[in-house]
Amino acid sequence: MIRPVNPYPVGLELEGRRVVVIGGGSVAQRRIPVLLESGAAVHLVSPEITPTLQGLVDAGRIRWQSREYRSGDLEGAWYAVAATKDSLVNARVAAEAEQLRTFCVRSDAVSSGTAVTPAVVRRGQMLVSVLTGDRARTAEARDVVARALSEAAAESPELDDTLRGTVALVGGGPGAEDLMTIRGRRLLAQADVVVADRLAPQRPLAELRADVEIVDAAKIPYGRAMAQEAINQVLVDRAREGKFVVRLKGGDSFLYGRGYEEAQACAEAGIPCSVVPGVSSALSVPALAGIPVTNRGMTHEATIVSGHLPPGHPGSLVDWQALARMRGTLVILMGVKNTPAIAEALVAGGRDANTPAAVVMDGSLEGQATHRCTLGTLTAMLAEKDVRPPAIVVVGEVAGLPQVLSGS
């Protein structure tokens, strides 16, 4: 069925309702985070999915059937998204949806579905949706609205041709979209290509122009990952094509983010590169949980440590015995798997087993959770609470301070 040119605008209440997404590529990666924010029970059908979507599957946030689409997959669905690269498959999905009277969006042929995904602008609790019947015009109209709503047009400036052929390394902050810097959002809005990590804010990706290429550079702990050399090459190649490339990472690019390696690769290739610092999860996530990494009269030092390698590993550059003798705060990143070994090494090195500790999961996101314990009970707590990445471990007296923030 050909959709009328004047669709009826409506907001869908999808809380707890089955939504089926067919296809696991970049389109699905854009749409699914927004569906999850609406409370939808997302069911994904695709033989392959992006690493970022894999992270959502591993976290139990979406259900995935690893196979091709087949008739019957839309049974019980309130809403469907046909997002494969095969137009024939998308047509079959739309046809099944039509039979079931389920509204369906087709990513490859907007007018052939029964619903249209609008371009959106979000400002706090206000959501503005824009529909024109044409993707390019819709994006243009959305940008006009965004400029009108944003002070000084901070998030949607006029396109800057001087950015073409350059790379910007943008730190996205701990995950919440409103903790991303204004400069980062402004540059993201101008990108031709976005190379994004799974821990980077996902909602802003849904607000990009339809023609923006999104490259999934997710690094799942001990799982799928795009090699750093390949990431570097993508940055260089796309910039050489005259495109403005934004490398969007969670946290800060220059704190365990390999930002310098990417900047170096650009420099060696003669590609101009700029850096937009991000709000680091090492400081912001404990703060969001009500834990100051320093506190007057309690600690004069805070040490940020990578825990991706366990104590004793031949590749580790951390002097765990020296850290055990320190009295200040330890903030351990990327260390969930190795935390038991780290806790054991710290106690063996002289740190009191009764030292307060805390683990903050999904910092800044809706599912943020904080679990407090001691250094000696840290290992047991990890197992009891089934702690998974992303999570940050804080060890020190500050972790035992009384909670003063509501909801933390």
Give kind and range of the element (H or E) at residue 187: helix 182-190
The single-letter code of the amino acid at 355 is: T
Catalytic residue among 143, 219, 243, 252: 219
Is 328 buried (19+), middle (13-18) or exposed (0-12) by CB count in 10 A?
middle
The single-letter code of the amino acid at 194 is: V
Catalytic residue among 192, 197, 216, 252: 197
Helix axes 259-268, 228-240, angle to 10 degrees: 40
- Neighbour-count burial for 153-173, b at 16+ CB within 10 Å, e otherwise: eebbbeeeeebebbbbbbbbb
Dihedral angle computed from the Cα positions of residues 60, 66, 72 and 77, in that order, rounded to the nearest 10 degrees: 30
Catalytic status, residue 249 = no
d(Cα 224, Cα 26) in Å, to the nearest integer?
A: 16
d(Cα 234, Cα 166) in Å, to the nearest integer?
A: 12
In whole angstroms, how far apart are CA 406 and each of 198, 356, 402? 28, 20, 12
Catalytic status, residue 337 = no
User: What is the phi/psi pair of residue 206, to 5°?
Assistant: -70, -15
Q: For residue 248, what is the DSSP state?
A: E
Token pair of 194, please?
A: 């976005």
Ramachandran sector of residue 345 (left: φ over 0; alpha: ψ -120 to 50; beta: rest): alpha
d(Cα 149, Cα 143) in Å, to the nearest integer?
A: 10
> Annotated active-site positions, please?
197, 219
